[in-house]
Chain A
Amino acid sequence: MSVDFLIETAKKIQVVINDNSSEIEKLDQEIGDGDHIFNVQRGIKLVIELEPIIKDLIMSKALNQIAMKVLSGIGGSSGALFGTLFMTMAKGNAIDEGVDYKKAIEIFAEGVEAVKQRGKADVGEKTMMDVLIPVSNCLKKGVEDDKDLKEILKEAVEVAEKGMFSTKDLLATKGRASFLGERAKGHIDPGARSSQLMIKTVCESVINS
C-alpha cells in the first residue's frame, strides 16, 4: 500500500459514493437527520484535494494529514469516527518501512478497533460497525489462515454486503437512529451502506489490479 494507492482509491470511492448518493441520502432521511451523505462526500473531496500535499510524504505523515483533514473538514460523527480510523492507522508499527497487504490489514484492524472504542458501538447496533468489524475479522482470519489475497478480499466484499444488509432488521441502539426505537427497523443504516461501498471499492480495486 502506497500513498499513491490511497489517493487513487479515494478517487474511485468518490465515483461510487456519488453514484449512490441519492440512495444513501434517502436512507438517512428515513432514520437519521439527512446529513450523512454530505459529510461523506465532503470528506472524500477533501482527501482527494490533499494529493499535492501528501503525495511525496511518508505513509505515517500522509495518513495523519488525512486524519486531521477528515476530522476538521467533516464534523459530525463521521468526522470523528473516520478521523479516529486514519489517526490510528497512522500510528501503525513501522509503516514507513513499507506496507504490504499483511501490514495493511493489521493497521486497518487496529483502526477499526479504535473506531469501535470511540463510537462505543459493537456489531448488532445498526451502525457502520456492522460492516467494519466483520470485515476486519474476516481480513485478519484470512491472513492467519494464509489464504490467497484475492480470495481474502473477495470474502471481505461478501462479508461487508452481508453486514450492511443485516442492519435492516436491527433495532438501533447507537447514533441518531437509536432515538427511533422500533421505527428504525426495516431500514438499512446509511453509515453501514456507505462503508460497505467503500470497502467494496477498496477490495475490488486491489483484486482487479
Chain B
Amino acid sequence: MKKFMNSADDFLKESLQGFGAAHQDVVSCHYDPNFITRATPTKEGKVALISGGGSGHEPMHGGLVGHGMLDAACPGFVFSSPTPDQMLAAAEKVDSGAGVLFIVKNYSGDVMNFQMAAEMMQGPNESVLTNDDVAVEDSSFTTGRRGVAATVVVEKIVGSLAEHGGSLHECKALGDKVNKNSGSMGVAFSSCTVPAAGKPNFDIGDDEMEFGVGIHGEPGRRRDKMKSAQEITNELLEAINEDLKPEANEEILLFVNGMGGTPLTELYLIYHNAKNMLDKKNIKISRSLVGNYCTSLEMQGASITLTKLDEELVKHWDSNVHTAAMRWGM
C-alpha cells in the first residue's frame, strides 16, 4: 500500500483537519464526535440538511457543506457508516427550529445508524434514502439498490429548496422525487485500499473491469474484459436507460463522476461518448456535471448518472451554491 499517511489511526482526523483549515471560509470541522458544519450558523426557519456516510468518498459529503447545499456532514471511518452521536451533535448545532432532513445512502450500516439517530433525536426530522444504482436489483429480497452519485444531485437540488424556504415536508418530497428520477451505474478498472486494511479491497486483473461496481468496490453485475470507452459508456447508459426510461426529447442532467483514480481527461472523453449515444436517442442533455464528486479512494473507474429534469429541478440545480467542491452563481 502506498498512501499519503502518517498512521492509519490518524488518517481521517488529519485529513479532516486539513479540509477544515483549507476551507475555513466555508466550513468548520468539529471533533469527537466528528462533524462538519457551515462556517456560518443556519438561518432561522431554514430546514437543516444533514448527510453523512463512510469517509473515502470525498468530496462527498463534507465538500458539499455550504450555502445552497448541506448544513452539516458526518464522516464515518473510511467506508464505515458514521454513528448516531455524530448525527445528534450535528443536529444540535445546525437545527434552527424548522427541522432536520437526513440524506442517507441506502447501505445497511448508514440506514441503521441514521435511524437510531432519528429515534434518539428530539424535534421534527425526516429522511431521504437515495438508491440510484441500477447495477443491483431492487426487490423485496435484497437490501435494495445502493445510493451512489445521484446523492450529490439530491443534495444540490434539495439544498436549494431549503435555502429558498422549503418546509421539511417539501424538502423530503423533492429529495424523493430527485432520487426517483435518477439512475447511476459505475465501472472499476482497479481496486482501492482502505488504510486500516492495508491491502486492496478486491482483486482484479490488468485486462479486467468490474461492471456495475459499488462505491466501496463491492461487486456489480459482472467481471468483464476491458473494452473501448464508447462500448463501456454505451453499456452503462443502456443499463441506466432501461431503468430510468427517459423519453425522446426529455431533458436530463448528465453527470460523469470519477471514482478517484481516473483523470479528468478520461472523464471528459466519457462525457463525449455519452453525448454521442444520448444524441442518437434524442435525449436532450440540458445540464452537465463532470468531475470527482462521489469517489472510492484511489479506485480507477467512473460512473454515469442521469437525472430527468423538469422546470422545478432545473431552477434548483441552477441556483447559487458555495461549497468546497461545488461553486457557482456566487
Contacts and interface: CB of A to CB of B under 8 A. Distances in A.
A71 B87 CA distance: 12
Contact of A71 (B83, B115, B214): B83
Contacts of B202: 29
A179 B219 CA distance: 7
A80 interface: yes
B76 A75 contact: yes
Interface string A53-70: 000000000000000100
5 contacts: A76-B77, A119-B112, A175-B143, A176-B143, A179-B146
Interface stretch (A3-11, A30-38, A144-152, A158-166): A30-38
Contacts of B115: 80, 118
Given A76-B80, A119-B112, A179 B143 contact: yes
B176 interface: no
B83 A179 contact: no
Interface of A: 25, 29, 32-35, 38-39, 68, 71-81, 83-84, 118-119, 173-176, 178-181, 183
Nearest to B214: A179
Contacts of B217: 33
Interface stretch (B64-72, B149-157, B193-201, B275-283): B193-201
A181 B137 contact: yes
A82 to B, nearest CB: 11
Interface of B: 33, 54, 76-86, 107-109, 112-113, 115-116, 136-137, 141-143, 146, 194, 196-197, 201-202, 214, 216-220
A143 B244 CA distance: 54
Given A174-B143, A176-B218, A178-B143, A80 B82 contact: no
Contacts of B146: 179
Given A34-B79, A68-B85, A179-B219, 17 more contacts: A32-B218, A35-B78, A71-B83, A71-B116, A74-B83, A75-B80, A75-B83, A76-B54, A76-B77, A76-B109, A77-B112, A79-B109, A80-B84, A80-B113, A80-B116, A119-B108, A173-B143
Contact of B219 (A34, A175, A183): A183
A76 B142 contact: no
A78 B77 CA distance: 13
Contacts of A71: 83-85, 116
Main SS class of interface, B: loop
A82 B143 CA distance: 19
Contacts of B80: 35, 39, 74-76
Question: Which 8 residue pairs spanning A and B have beta carbons closest together?
Answer: A80-B112, A77-B109, A76-B109, A33-B216, A76-B80, A72-B85, A75-B80, A178-B142
A60 to B, nearest CB: 18
Contacts of A79: 81, 83, 109, 113
Given A34-B197, A176-B218, A179-B136, A83 B141 contact: no
B108 A174 contact: yes
A180 B81 contact: no
Nearest to B136: A179
Contact of B83 (A29, A72, A183): A72
A56 B80 CA distance: 33
A35 B108 contact: no
Contacts of A180: 218-219
Nearest to A38: B196
Nearest to A25: B197
A120 to B, nearest CB: 9
A118 B113 CA distance: 10
